[in-house]
Amino acid sequence: MRRTSRAPSLLAGALTILALAVSLLPGAAQQAEQEPAQEPMPRFRAGTNLVRLDAYVTADGQPVTDLAAEDFEVFEDDQPQKVENFELIRAHDGNGVTTAAPNPSSTRDQREAAQDPDARLFVIFLDNWHVGLDGSARSSDAVAGFLDKVVGPRDLVGVMTPDITPQNMTLTRRGEGIDRILRDAWTWGQRDRLNTLDPHEQDIRTCYPDSGSTAGIAQEMIERRREQKTLRALDSMVRHLDGLREERKFVVLLSEGWILFRRNDQLARPLGGSTPGGAPPVGVGIDGRVTTQPDPREGGYGAGSLDSCERERVMLSYIDHELEIRQLAQRANRANVSFYPLDPRGLVVFDDAIGGAFRPSSPELDRQRLANRQNGLRELAEQTDGAWVLGTNDTDGALERMLADTSAYYLLSYYSTNPKLDGRFRRITVKVKRPDVEVRARPGYLAPTEAEARAAGAAIGGPGAPGARPAPPPAVSRALDAIIPGRGSLPVRVQAVGLADRVRAVVELDAATLKLPDWQAGGTLQLFIESERGGAPIVLDATIAAGQRSVIVEGPEGGLAPGRYTVRVEGRAAKGRDSIRAATQAIVAAEGQSISGATVAFRRGPTTGLAYQPTADPRFRRTERLRVEVPVLAAGALTTSGRVLTREGAALPLPVTTSERIDQPFNARYVVADVTLAPLAQGDFVLEVTVGKESATYGFRIVP
């Protein structure tokens, strides 16, 4: 590989240009909305003990996609757990109805697109401080292969480096043009450069010349500083991705790895009889005046920089990156982020490049450094249930593994039988009853502490805890989990319920969408019903008239087999080119159930007049009435009742009126529950409807 030597002014901005180029891709977000950057708190579900995990099941390297919930066994610390929710996540290849979606055009659009369950989210992290020039030049082929084989037309891709904040990362569809940009800006690798994009590194070299008592200090400080920047950037990225979506996030980490420095008291040793960070000596400067700055002719120290260098030397000597990488893996586990490290060098023998920025290590030390770098990347991948590409030139084979991981996997949820908020590690084991298959899942998770749970607004439970309250029943927790977080308005929402042989869905436009010029004349909708077992989706067509906000779509006429279905809606305005989309889940019950566990909600208030309007938005005001309809699947008379519950599952003295109705066109039977919301304060509640010995719940939120 021919190496070039350019002045920093010609090299500076390689990463900045890369970031700007990605943001200026055709149709990419222009960040039109300036939103304050806020680090999200760790998110805990209702009751704090809902655990979500992904399970990859393969046979002979190919994903197994025909398993049912009863095929799985989940254990936490060797205690069996009941799987409450089960879903097969499939990647769409762009055939049929799943076409490429438009790129999000604002920060809000990016967040909404990231919450689409049909779109996977990938981040390509360029660890520029730990990739050499040769690696950055070769990385474009690996990225191009990844984008071509793994990323689908609806998926979102972002590019990030340690010098780009995650809030400034732009998410684009399919990563169009990213591979070309990486080829053009192939000089982004900084590890083996003498003149890097960080001017402070030159200050450190000036403070500590590589000779005498200061020999080796600058090299270790710079390496520790680079490693700290990368690990902090990865931690910030994980926190940001956790706030974007609950579903799995995939991070392709292009890095040659890290040494994982620990405390080194020798680095903080006194130099020349002075303690680092102490009062500088007083002397006569080069201009004849009294000064505390050393004479640069005698020590080589940069004017005015020694004090800051000494403080940083002490700080860097106390870091423990082995601990930080473990904590990073734990946070990524909690945020459902998986790392796929890729060493762009391919097969390597030596860690230090000949002619690089630092003095080569001894052969024994070089082998140890190389092992440490690869072990750190392996640990991050293993602990987050990812895969690594290290010490091999077979990147195509590694991409096949990643393709298998991301093309189909199972999303399982369970309520832990251990409600303690102790911050301890919980070991998870996932087994499948079918023989001759391989199962991979994350090895465990770090339970939240009580302080973290309270800060996240979760209901606090756990026996023995100060002020402890009983954990809510699972049905209440599930209803609260279904409430859409208050992250601002969504263009469209969809809520679906499974009947005996079909799906009943409510599609509702947001008030802001309804006011757009494109939607003032109404629009058309298509509802796609896709079985978790695969096959072509069933398509239902519907129309939203001018001024109409919500509509009920029910079908198909041919009937559906029992099972779980993904219900997606795609809409297009009658005027203009604006399009909207959303998705949810519905379960068509098997024989033997008396009622469906889900409900369809309606609202009545000042904006609806005397009529009840179907709604998919669980946010209500105290001036409204709430009505839910529970599908009845069994014949015969049934006793019915209803009550409103708090977050903890306690019943409120609020009257709930229940009745029955028959839907003549489909000969369907419903239990109707009606409640006035005026007595309720702001907060989250659950409406429970009991029919015979079974019950259904609906979570809702009272807003100002």
For the stretch 445-466, pLDDT in tens is 777 776 666 555 554 444 444 4
Q: In whole angstroms, what is the distance from residue 558 CA to residue 588 CA?
A: 14
Q: In whole angstroms, what is the distance from residue 500 CA to residue 559 CA?
A: 9
Q: Does residue 556 have a cis peptide bond before it, meaning omega lies within 30 degrees of 0?
A: yes
pLDDT at 44: 39
Instruction: Using DSSP, state whether 169 is helix, strand or coil.
Output: coil
pLDDT at 401: 63
Q: In whole angstroms, what is the distance from residue 514 CA to residue 548 CA?
A: 8
* Arithmetic mean of pLDDT, 191-215: 85
- What pLDDT band is residue 118 in, cutting at 50, 70 and 90? low
Q: In whole angstroms, what is the distance from residue 667 CA to residue 659 CA?
A: 17
Higher-confidence position of 268 and 3: 268
pTM of the entire predicted model: 0.56
Q: In whole angstroms, what is the distance from residue 338 CA to residue 559 CA?
A: 38
* Arithmetic mean of pLDDT, 341-345: 83
Query: Could you tell me which residues are beta bridge partners of residue 316?
Result: none
Q: Supply 245's token pair.
A: 């979506």
Q: In whole angstroms, what is the distance from residue 191 CA to residue 135 CA?
A: 10
Q: Is the separation of the CB atoms in 650 and 632 below 8 Å?
A: no
Instruction: Using DSSP, state whether 642 is helix, strand or coil.
Output: strand
pLDDT at 685 over 80: yes
pLDDT at 293: 53
Higher-confidence position of 129 and 146: 129
What is the tens place of the pLDDT at every residue in 641-668?
999 998 888 899 899 999 988 887 777 8
For the chain, give the mean pLDDT.
77
Per mean pLDDT, which range of 90-99, 132-141, 232-241 is the poorest?
A: 90-99
pLDDT at 2 over 60: no
Nearest 5 degrees, angle CA 648-CA 652-CA 653?
A: 165
Q: What percent of the chain has pLDDT over 90?
A: 17
pLDDT at 630 over 60: yes
CA 655 to chain centre: 41
pLDDT at 679 over 60: yes
**Mind listing the domains of the chain with CATH numbers?**
8-47+100-192+218-260+321-408 (3.40.50.410), 477-702 (no CATH)
* Arithmetic mean of pLDDT, 236-245: 89
| Dihedral over alpha carbons 104, 105, 110, 114 (to 10 degrees) | -10
Q: In whole angstroms, what is the distance from residue 441 CA to residue 409 CA?
A: 10
Higher-confidence position of 582 and 665: 582
* Arithmetic mean of pLDDT, 670-684: 90
